[in-house]
Amino acid sequence: MRNDQLATGERPTAEAAKRGPIGERELIWMMALLMALNAFGIDAILPALDALATDLGAQGNNRQFVVGAYLLAAGIGTLVPGAFADRYGRRPVLFVALFLYISLSIACALASTFDMLVVLRAAQGFFAAGIIALPPAIIRDRVGGDKMARMMSLIFVIFLLVPAVAPSIGQGVLVLMGDWRWIFASMALAGVVMSAWVYFRLPETLHEEDRQEIRIGPIARNMKSAVTLRETIGYTLGSALVFGGLFGFINSSQQLIGEAFGAGDRFPLIFAICAGCMALANWSNSRIVERFGARKVSHAALFAFIAVAAAQLYFANQPDETLWTFVPLMAANMSLLGFIGANFGSIALQPFRHIAGAASSAQGFLRMTSGALLGAFVGYAYDGTARPLAAALLVTAVLSLAFVLFSERGELFGEKMPEDA
């Protein structure tokens, strides 16, 4: 990974020239860790769901709402920051999102009832949506094409290290401090650290000629074009479907691993293995995507995902499925998502350089809300076995392939994307 200025295809802004360039390595780390605040907000609390449910009186699968409410509200919230970021710039909107993430993390730590916590988690997800929606737009401001896919893959490598370690961090905080509320305090601290880094190092990346007016008509048209263009809509919906299955795993993972397979004490390690495989796949994707192209790599990975999901469904329907068949197959499919997610997202955002903020928001809204709703449905369907999850992974992957075929007019493994910016 280079630490030089993004010379090839870069579009420097006046502020970037004044502040001094931010190197590729630093930019990738910064964008990854911004997005990782969202992942940390989801995954760090997973080991504490039992303690939280007991403390606040949550019943059965209702404990999953602490995760599901955040995911769904974050998806809805991604509609908001893009248009403002296209008008006022990426930095101001990012700082608002970070401030609200910090404030609502503290509020969650002080929640006195389960209903209050769910409402606060929804608010946290909604108002902090900018940390999800803006990093892809910031990258798109700088580069495009398969180069963007490579950078997004590297971002996902770092981003996914956080889900790999977040449950362990959450469990460590729980053991050390003896109270799940300190996990939310750690989220606030992480938000403060990231705010300082962004303030001192990130220049404004929005170009003056790309600024959009805050008018409902143009904003609606920009967002509509971002989610209706045939060449990209299949990739947005396709990623929503396959990640919906992943969200289903996240929602039910603590119960599935701890109860169905009786490995609750090993949950953080197992979760880390699965997320780590996904991070490794994203790193591998970053090494090959510019050579082969985002389409070829992601299409091949989607076919492999379908095959592994079919194997998962077969084993899930056996009366004696064990942890030793579930974990390798789940890790394999999470690895394959590493070759799908960043590539699908880059293909979907490629045509929208001049409205990258609005396009990222609209696509993020569709992707996150659809994925969160599907994930909540899959998680709530947990019946003490891996069958609902396995069936969802297979069905969503097949439907994702159908959507990609629609966008590509029936022809897969197409040419590379041009590196225009």
CA–CA gap between residue 24 and residue 31 (Å, rounded) = 11
Q: What is the pLDDT of residue 12?
A: 54
Q: What is the mean pLDDT of residues 224-248?
A: 85
CA–CA gap between residue 20 and residue 203 (Å, rounded) = 8
Which position has the higher pLDDT, 11 or 43?
Answer: 43
* Surface-to-core class of residue 4, CB atoms within 10 Å of its CB (0-12 exposed, 13-18 middle, 19+ buried): exposed
For the question of whether the overall pTM of this predicted structure is more than 0.95, the answer is: no
List the single range of 19-28, 187-196, 287-296, 401-410 with lowest mean pLDDT: 19-28
Which position has the higher pLDDT, 146 or 107?
Answer: 107
Tally of CB atoms within 10 A around 196: 11
Residue 122 pLDDT grade (very low, low, confident, very high; cuts 50, 70, 90): very high
Report whether pLDDT(104) > 90. yes
Report whether pLDDT(90) > 80. yes
Residue type, 339: F
Residue 300 pLDDT grade (very low, low, confident, very high; cuts 50, 70, 90): very high
The 3-class SS string of the chain reads CCCCCCCCCCCCCHHHHHHCCCCHHHHHHHHHHHHHHHHHHHHCCHHHHHHHHHHHCCCHHHHHHHHHHHHHHHHHHCCCHHHHHHHHCHHHHHHHHHHHHHHHHHHHHCCCCHHHHHHHHHHHHHHCCHHHHHHHHHHHHHCCHHHHHHHHHHHHHHHHHHHHHHHHHHHHHHHHHCCCHHHHHHHHHHHHHHHHHHHHHCCCCCCHHHCCCCCHHHHHHHHHHHHHCHHHHHHHHHHHHHHHHHHHHHHHHHHHHHHHCCCHHHHHHHHHHHHHHHHHHHHHHHHHHHHHCHHHHHHHHHHHHHHHHHHHHHHHCCCCCCHHHHHHHHHHHHHHHCCCHHHHHHHHHCCCHHHHHHHHHHHHHHHHHHHHHHHHHHHHCCCCCCHHHHHHHHHHHHHHHHHHHHHCCCCCCCCCCCCCC
CA–CA gap between residue 228 and residue 215 (Å, rounded) = 20
Q: What is the mean pLDDT of residues 365-370?
A: 81
Task: Determine phi and psi for 355, rounding to 5 degrees.
Answer: -130, 40
Residue 98 pLDDT grade (very low, low, confident, very high; cuts 50, 70, 90): very high
Residue 1 pLDDT grade (very low, low, confident, very high; cuts 50, 70, 90): very low
Residue 360 pLDDT grade (very low, low, confident, very high; cuts 50, 70, 90): confident
Which position has the higher pLDDT, 6 or 119?
Answer: 119
Residue 302 pLDDT grade (very low, low, confident, very high; cuts 50, 70, 90): very high
Which position has the higher pLDDT, 30 or 23?
Answer: 30
Residue 312 pLDDT grade (very low, low, confident, very high; cuts 50, 70, 90): very high
Q: What is the pLDDT of residue 3?
A: 44
The answer to whether 227 and 79 are in contact (CB under 8 A) is no
Q: What is the mean pLDDT of residues 5-27?
A: 60
CA–CA gap between residue 338 and residue 44 (Å, rounded) = 21
Angle made by CA atoms 89, 91, 97, in degrees to the nearest 5: 110
Which position has the higher pLDDT, 401 or 263?
Answer: 401
Q: What is the pLDDT of residues 155-201, one digit of tens each?
A: 877 766 776 778 788 888 888 888 899 999 999 999 999 999 999 99
Report whether pLDDT(80) > 60. yes
Structure tokens at 379: 């998680």
**Domain-wise residue ranges, the chain:** 15-407
Report whether pLDDT(13) > 60. no
Report whether pLDDT(9) > 50. no
The answer to whether 281 and 335 are in contact (CB under 8 A) is yes
Q: What is the pLDDT of residue 160?
A: 66
Residue 102 pLDDT grade (very low, low, confident, very high; cuts 50, 70, 90): very high
Q: What is the pLDDT of residues 372-397, one digit of tens each?
A: 788 888 887 888 888 988 999 999 99
Tally of CB atoms within 10 A around 398: 15
Of 162, 129, 128, 120, nearest in space to 29 by CA: 162
Of 43, 31, 138, nearest in space to 89 by CA: 138
Q: What is the pLDDT of residue 152?
A: 78
Q: What is the mean pLDDT of residues 17-40?
A: 80
Report whether pLDDT(10) > 70. no
Residue 293 pLDDT grade (very low, low, confident, very high; cuts 50, 70, 90): confident
Question: Among 3.40.1640.10, 3.40.50.2300, 3.40.718.10, 1.20.1250.20, what is the CATH number of 15-407?
Answer: 1.20.1250.20
CA–CA gap between residue 88 and residue 94 (Å, rounded) = 11
Q: What is the pLDDT of residue 328?
A: 92
